Structure 1
């Protein structure tokens, strides 16, 4: 930042404020504009595509300057915050007309990616701000949504879990309460593109934090509160009491698992369409939509709580007409949670209060419909719904139904709410007619036919009497001014009307604003009750949504067992079925009895192995969130976690290959899964050399079988692995059926018992349209390779410690035409430490040997 040789008082004020907010764009209010200076102006002009000018253009060092109109500033703020920047708002704290010297200015709010509450691009999803801390070997994580007041905390044992939870919350900003290691900082900033905001202070609030938190949780939550109060610079009455939670209280899934299963958005498009959320979302309120996302993101592990939800969904299904009435009544409910937060932030306007009032007016109807269902569970939920009739009465009697969205233009308060405001309005509305009536009355009483009432700024309202009529002036007139040919008179009645009109004109807007502020303050006293109401209505909305989806798609109520039995008859992948249409989708039965831990799935590409595996995962997730499922019948255990490795993907930002990501995800599953978990592995080991991959795949299967005991689906192209069923008693083979006629293959998308007989990879290539001569050549090569392949059987297992296995790896090269000299040359290569040029040279020499 280049400074002038001589700084004006106004610019010095700017520099002093900017010094306290070096990491934020400072919007400095000057009249009708927010101005930016120096580096802020240069960067903002480029980002926002606004004009860059300069202050003191003729000085040796002109100050770069850019500005945005204050009335449209929010759209520019949104752009900066969306890009991950912070924005500090410096407002004028006094009337410039009354200020002595430089107008006093202060930063009234700092807007950051995690603290956005006002946006020109409203989004019904949560915007979570996360704080992390570290103490005595444990990590603390706390998060809140400033737009709804939700506030949570937990403790975690390792940074990988912290990273996963941040990803699951889709946070954009993290408040950091301890010194990150370089690797941790790299992960959060470079790989996850998060804004890090350091915070050392702790805001202690016993009311919000309670006393049942661990030390590290209390520390993380306190630093989160400190950051929020420091940036928002106001008391936030809508913040809810902190809720402690444990990861193990919900079905555990990594972020990668949720992405691979398309839970909240389609992984390929990034859109809602094609996700489980899209399928299940028949909610009618913003609160219900957010709660549905939460239920999908965090399915339950408590069977009692799952059954409570199922019971209500069943009641809704059994009462179509009542449920339809309920659905219609929910359409009139606005976003109570965010309206409550706007009240707390002092940003609520008359339109917001009207929406709140309309919602409260709808609640008695919702309660009446809920009471018509014959359900103890619904009766209990209905009893918790408070219609808040006093608040509804206050809003409906105070706020005019045609009130504007602004609070400075008047017309907000309903006539009849305040007698003084009514009087002002009557005076402004009828004052002119009162003066006309008085003029006529006094003209008749005095006999002065030319008597009239005029007005000017100096004398106000007055009776104009010419000199010839002065003898007729009544005694109650008093002289206000004398002119050459006339005089001006006033009366007590005229003075009163004049005073009333002037007062009405000047005081009406102020009084109406004060009344609105008083109403807003009264509404603020109901914030906690409004939040409770929002939660209960959201629950009703989410459950009726699940009922609608279950009815429309013919889903069934799943049952649960403690014997680790999976029995899904004619199950479907709910999302794929919805996209394809029920008529085209081919269902599959999934059965793993108590004695079966692993299903080894073989079959060609494009045949439906991945869909079959995902089908099971989605069925489990839907069941454990309380939803009905896509099947003829479904019996399941309660799983504690789902681990997946489905699909191939590089992590280019962190420099990890497909195979490395694959192995890391496999490791997480193997290390963390229990006998109560579900593991889905698709083509594990394909990212490396054939025998390497086969050896790893077999070892992983054996490890899960012998030491983990989790229900596992393992899809593979390594047909040799099917021999494991002879030595692993808890493993069974299944395959995707195909129909082959006259060299043409039809994939039946049906899972049947036993192993597949071959891969059909060349047939898939044919379907993809590869040239026929290429396919013919591929078929010849395949025949030759199969003739010289080494079978991997259960009595000849691959073991990393075995010298024999090293020879097995070399057997890949035991083909006709490869001589001992070439094999020796290959054996001598130090591939790991070779430069690219050395590798090319070695390859050239071996080509000469051939």
Structure 2
């Protein structure tokens, strides 16, 4: 601290020392000021004017924003991944002795955001913490909290699986031990990395922090077991960190929920990206995603839960059946489904409203929104009365009308209450006798003052006399300079303006004091009454959160049923078997972008006897669409949704692996082929006999023979070693011959019809392999110059003629290579001669002569 700092700057430096990694928004009157290094950084990030402030014998860099504009600037800083400490004045300047006391009242970080303006209502905003023995080794504990909904979950994660789990939840902020700072955390994505001392992640200390915070003797009641030390470490560190970002306390956090492996599928980044579940391949929002098609939820918390369900398909058939039964009942009963959705239509974001109440942040209108949302619960219970599906019945029975909470809010808060408490008019008339009396006094004084202008004009004869009010000078009588000589003797000068004089009278002063005194007491009493109401409702937050959970689940089930009705989805048969059979399957997203009759459905069947499908056909014929639609139908079935097909039978898969399309990673120095091989390697190492593998164009990023070799070996490995259900879309027509020696391989192709020089894509799967890729025709459709297309046809014709000639035994091509399958269909003369030799009838000398001849012949 500089010795010549002013008292204000000394106060700022004390705050900055406690929060060195945050920008300090320091309240000075009606502005939040940034000083010194914060001012320099803030001016660059926010485009603020950088000035300076006198600081003793020096000047301190200064930048500031109006208090009312805080949210707009916070949104930008959170987008930059910055931490902001809000340092407010915590005492009344009028009562302060010396410098007004200030303190950090809130930390705003990417993972600790509460303002609706900074959040997406339809997705969670996670703060995550990771703890383990050492970075990069063994299992770790992962804790995930959404502070806006109170959700807190913990799970054990293998280090190699951590990137996929983090990618699914996409936390906005990651809390990590300080010693991991030099270790690149895989899967962190765009998360802001926050490091704290390793002591915060000590399992014993963290467990003690959890028991203290949740006021329990031990963690066994929450599902923690003896080997869960790293789960407790991550969760305890996260809760401790909350004490830093919420100094005033945080009452909305729910007890931790332990998630065990084996209940939900882990979707890797390739699958999430290639199937475009919640984000398109271009990464431009939800348009064109499965989530966009399915999200008919009526509430924000329903949308958030649907997103979580899509990213965590179930692994146990009985769990899937419970959801399917629930969706099925709402699908079959139109009246029940409509009544449920009508009731849900008036429900606001109960989860986030409950947390705001618990944290003491709820505004008067948010309290009214809470009451209005709870008023929709009784109609929802009534709509679900006929329900028989076990999941629907359990959710219905977990709802409660909460008449006590609604009654308390409605009795206290005026239906026309303003946005903020400070504007007045928050408490309903008739709720509190003292408040009503104060309002009567104020209103009487205001009425008297309102009549004063007419009275004084008549008494003084000054027709231009006006009665006005100023926040600084209070009520006044204003007379123009030209009329000042007619002012009565009982007028006392209050303020002089350029063209007028302002006065007051003793009587006006008396009534002014009545008005202002009443206003002050009204404001104070309203604040106290509203705070008491909010505290009373805060005590019931766990009840509200339970209802919110049930409402969200019912919303998702009703939304899935609505989608099934509108889009003609059917209930899949789901069991623990191996077989996958889809009849009339459709791509749920692609079919929304074209007339229903234009989309061509297809059948797919994979079982023990035919578990690997080699799918050939031209570009643009629909191979990739078929791959993706199979993956989406299986995923939807295991989410518990109906599926776009005439019929579907799905044996539960443990993982869905996809490798579709070409991409590179220039930042890491990886070519398209290297990325493709990395993805393929991950599939071959991770797939099991219970997996579904969807491959598109393996090996196309290198030479033909290299690529064909890799594609063949990959297919053999999947068939012989892994045993997974596999669909392999390829232009390597040579792969279609694998069915001759691999019992589980079947060939299918996408049908094409040739009309003259044109081709028509029929987009229908038919048994057997394709013998052409129609690349030249597709190039013409893409708009290549006619001269290029004509030359390509000529070259293609020459190559085909040469291949046919070689097949008939003509002159060999000097560049000819041996094929992979019995000569590849192009017999070499040397090979033919070898076939005619009987080794038992050849002498050693003849063998040497024969070998020399074969070498000469092989060299052409």
* TM-score w.r.t. length of structure 2: 0.82
Matches within 5 A, 1:304-343: 304-343=318-357
Residue pairs, 1:160-175, within 5 angstroms:
160-175=160-175
Look up the match of 1:533. Answer: 547
- Which residue of the other structure, out of 408, 422, 441, is the alignment partner of 1:408? 422
Question: Do the aligned residues in 1 keep the contact of 2:301 with 2:552 (CA within 8 Å)?
Answer: yes
Question: Residues 237-636 of structure 1 correspond to what in structure 2 (within 5 A)?
Answer: 237-268=251-282, 270-373=284-387, 375-430=389-444, 504-636=518-650
Partners of 1:686 and 1:193 lie apart in 2 by 34
Contact 1:720 1:791 in 2 (8 A): no
Q: Which residue number corresponds to residue 103 of structure 1?
A: 100
What is the aligned counterpart of 2:733 among 710, 714, 719? 719
Aligned length: 737
Change (3 A) 1:119 1:312: closer
Residue 182 of structure 1, CA deviation? 4.1
Equivalent residue, structure 1, for 2:474:
none
CA distance in 2, matches of 1:571, 1:724: 26
Q: Give the Cα separation in 1 of the matches to 2:798 and 2:190.
A: 47
For residue 210 of structure 1, the aligned residue among 204, 219, 224 is 219
For 2:672 and 2:192, how far apart are their aligned partners in 1? 24
After superposition, the CA RMSD in angstroms is 2.7
**Relative to structure 1, is the Cα distance of residues 509 and 562 closer, same or farther in structure 2, using a 3 angstrom cutoff?**
closer
Distance 2:448 2:767 in 1: 97
Secondary structure, counterpart of 1:36 in structure 2: strand
Partner of 1:197: 195
Deviates more, 1:421-430 or 1:205-214: 205-214
2:728, 2:83 → 1: CA distance? 47
Looking at structure 1, the residues matched to 506 and 22 of structure 2 have their Cα atoms a distance apart, in angstroms, of 63
Question: Which secondary structure state, in structure 2, belongs to the residue aligned with residue 775 of structure 1?
Answer: helix
Q: How many angstroms apart in 1 are the aligned matches of 2:588 and 2:389?
A: 28
Q: Say yes or no: does 1:645 pair with 2:645.
A: no
Structure 1: how far apart are the matches of 2:556 and 2:243?
A: 33
Please state whether the residue corresponding to 2:262 is helix, strand or coil. Answer: helix
> 1:68: which partner in 2?
65
- Name the counterpart of 2:806: none
1:840: which partner in 2?
none
Matched, 1:78 2:92: no
**Residue number in structure 2 paired with 1:141:** 142
User: Once the 2 structures are TM-superposed, how far is the Cα of residue 428 of structure 1 from its aligned partner?
Assistant: 2.6
**1:732 paired residue among 703, 724, 746:** 746
Report Cα offsets for 1:123-162 as digits up to 9, x if no partner: 111101111111273211111101101111111222x321
1:412, 1:520 → 2: CA distance? 13
Partner of 1:205, secondary structure, is helix
Q: In structure 1, which of residues 10, 15, 25 is the aligned counterpart of residue 13 of structure 2?
A: 15
8 Å Cα contact 1:424-1:501 kept in structure 2: no
How many angstroms does 1:791 deviate by? 6.2
Alpha-carbon shift at residue 737 of structure 1 (Å): 0.9
Q: Which whole-Å CA distance do the structure 2 matches of 1:737 and 1:603 have between them?
A: 7
Contact residue 24 and residue 88 of structure 1 kept, 8 A: yes
Q: Is the 8 A contact 2:317 2:575 kept in 1?
A: no
1:653 is paired with a residue of what secondary structure? Answer: helix
Secondary structure at the counterpart of residue 416 of structure 1:
coil
Cα distance between partner residues in 1 of 2:665 and 2:326: 43
- Is the 8 Å Cα contact of residues 685 and 694 (structure 1) preserved in structure 2? yes
SS of residue paired to 2:63: strand
Alpha-carbon contact 1:238-1:340 (below 8 Å) kept: yes
Runs of 5+ in structure 1 lacking a partner? Answer: 437-487, 491-495, 798-803, 805-850
Contact preservation (8 Å) 1:263, 1:277: yes
| Aligned counterparts of 1:796 and 1:174: Cα–Cα separation in 2 | 57
Preserved CA contact (<8 Å) 2:574 2:637: no
Distance 1:237 1:279 in 2: 36
The answer to which of 121-130 and 611-620 deviates more is 121-130
Secondary structure of residue in 2 paired with 1:252? coil
Equivalent of 1:89 in 82, 86, 90: 86
Q: How does 1:689-708 map to 2 (within 5 A)?
A: 689-708=703-722
Distance 1:268 1:149 in 2: 32
Indicate how the Cα distance of structure 1 residues 526 and 552 shifts in structure 2: closer, same or farther if over 3 A, else same: same
Which residue in the other structure is 2:156 paired with? 155
Shift of 1:761: 1.1
Deviation of 1:178 after TM superposition, in Å, equals 5.5
Q: CA deviation at 1:405?
A: 1.2
Question: What's the TM-score, normalizing by structure 1?
Answer: 0.83
